Amino acid sequence: MKILIVEDDRALNNGIALSLKGEEILQAFSLAQARSLLDGSIDLVILDINLPDGSGLDYCREIREKSGVAIIFLTANDMEIDIVTGGGGRLYYKAFFPHGAPGEGECGFPQKAGAGVRAKQACGKE
């Protein structure tokens, strides 16, 4: 699977990439970089909403005009309405731990607003 990670926090971007070892990973730290990397061969976009050069929600709408690629939003925002209006797919809140942490849900996703159910689905455990 070819995955594009669009996240400006370098440590988080690198951590996600590391946790997805075995997949083909492209990393972008801005929308400008993401636009240059996104092509028809990408299977999944992991997209931050708040980026230094624009909104991940706006970029999602831009992607949707051309592609049906799967999109997972990654956000520190606590407003699921952002995702509904953004046209994306799954929503995961920061901070999460790719390999799990004490008190966290399946796959390290926080137990918040149904995230545990979505995490189980993402892990193939439901």
pTM of the full predicted structure?
0.68
Cα 16 to its chain centre, rounded Å, is 9
Domain segments of the chain as ranges: 2-94
pLDDT band at residue 69, thresholds of 50, 70 and 90?
very high
Mean pLDDT of 103-112: 39
Instruction: Indicate the fold that domain 2-94 takes in CATH.
Output: Rossmann fold (3.40.50)
Alpha-carbon span 15 to 3, nearest angstrom: 14
Mean pLDDT of 43-63: 92
Q: Write down the H helix ranges in the chain.
A: 10-19, 31-37, 56-64, 80-86, 115-123
pLDDT band at residue 63, thresholds of 50, 70 and 90?
very high
Return the higher-pLDDT residue of 112 and 86: 86
